[in-house]
Amino acid sequence: MKEWTKQYGKVYGIYEGLIKVLVVSDLDMLQELFIKKFDYFHGRKNLVLQGDVDNDDRVHVFEARGLRWKRLRALSNPTFSSSALKKIHGTVEDSALELVRLLSPQADRGAFNIHVYYQELTMDIICRIALGQRTTNFFNNPLVNFVSNLFMRSMRWPPFLFGHLIPPARPFIKWTFLKIARLFGLSGSKIYEIATDAVHLRLKQREEDSKRGIEPGEPADFIDLFIDAVSDEKIEDGSDFSKSELHITKRLTTPEIIAQCFVFLLAGFDTTANSLAYASYLLAKHPEKQKRLIQEVDEYCKGETIEYETLGKLKYMDCVAKEALRLYPLAAFASSRTCMKDTTLGDIEIEKETTVVADVWTIHRDKTIWGADAEEFVPERWENPSNRHIMSWFPFGAGPRTCIGMRLAYMEEKLALAHILKRFEIVAGPETEAF
């Protein structure tokens, strides 16, 4: 896409099969897309296995649209608030400490692939905070392979590619895939079953506690937080998408709770593990930056554990994380929108059902925005950020649909790197691949 943008400019059109796609790297147009004209572009790009986003009981916040999305987002937001993250901080840190314990024997054995450990870490965290897992379970969790296979193999399955290009074929492909998945216990089906079992078990525990007169305590994880928000009410269909007409129901239905846990597992696993891997790679390739980060960690993180409030003091850590995400915006695939009704972006007319894709990778390395060193790893550029355009950096998306788990991802990454750098130095080996 970067090469096409160089050749055709900041706005150009392509076809993905039968689907019209507009690729945009013009910052003002993207501000219109994600923020100013959000009501026209509130839907994400359609997925091959996407259900009925208006009526399916199992729709989650990532694929929902319109009033359904607004309701799910409003009910999910408290789960990712500072107070909620503070409650799960201890769980996240416990997994980070287990990571360090497992890395210790590797420290003197030569080069090894740290990405595998980051995958175990992020899966351990998400299983503990969203699937009811009570203790660490590194290198014993089958979900790591299940989810990896789902990302690496399923999406490259030829019928998936066909459905992506030919939307009318999607219902048949979805029906066929789900039948096969249930029959053979494939990844997506297995993951959903695990999420379903975890939620139903927690609901049963709550019911039994209630019969004994035991009041629910403080929420222990996302399941508790979502349960505290279940309702049989459904948002009314047929309304225009506007804030004034939104009626927020007070609780999530059980299928919605399961769907939220399922999507947070998928969204919180690979992207965070990959972000940690790229940050580690960049620090290994720039030892002077790593040295400065280690000095900051040593200054503020003196004890065995790191308090939630201390993470906010790690300013250079913030710079490192942001710069790594600038160079490697791994969730850029989510920065696309579907036009819900005819409108314009800039002076270009956009028809309903057109997909608009933001060329995030090009923007994040644009020398007219970032300077001559745009291709280089320079965390210091974030210490005194200039008045850059609001759309010059958006690895988590932008506007009302900005990634809901952004702060959780930051907390995971900062805790993991801080605990690693308290004990080790990350060094590039002779087989370290260049990116």
Annotated binding-site residue numbers:
403
Q: What are the residues facing 350 on neighbouring strands? A: 343
Spatial distance between the Cα atoms of 416 and 408, rounded to a whole number of angstroms: 12
Spatial distance between the Cα atoms of 293 and 55, rounded to a whole number of angstroms: 49
Structure tokens at 268: 């919180």
Annotated binding site for heme: 403
**Of the candidates 74, 66, 77, which has an alpha carbon nearest to the alpha carbon of residue 39?**
66
Task: State whether residue 15 is helix, strand or coil.
Answer: strand
Distances (CA, A) of 212 to 201, 216, 296: 17, 11, 50
Triad 405, 406, 411: Cα angle to 5°: 100
Would you list the DSSP string of 133-192? --S--TT--THHHHHHHHHHTGGGSHHHHHHHH-GGGHHHHHHHHHHHHHHHT-HHHHHH
Which residues lie closer than 8 Å to 93 by C-beta, 6 or more apart? Answer: 305, 306, 415, 419
Give Dmax (Cα) for the chain: 69
Spatial distance between the Cα atoms of 3 and 11, rounded to a whole number of angstroms: 13
Q: DSSP E strands: which ranges in 231-368?
A: 336-338, 343-345, 348-350, 355-358
Residues in the chain: 435
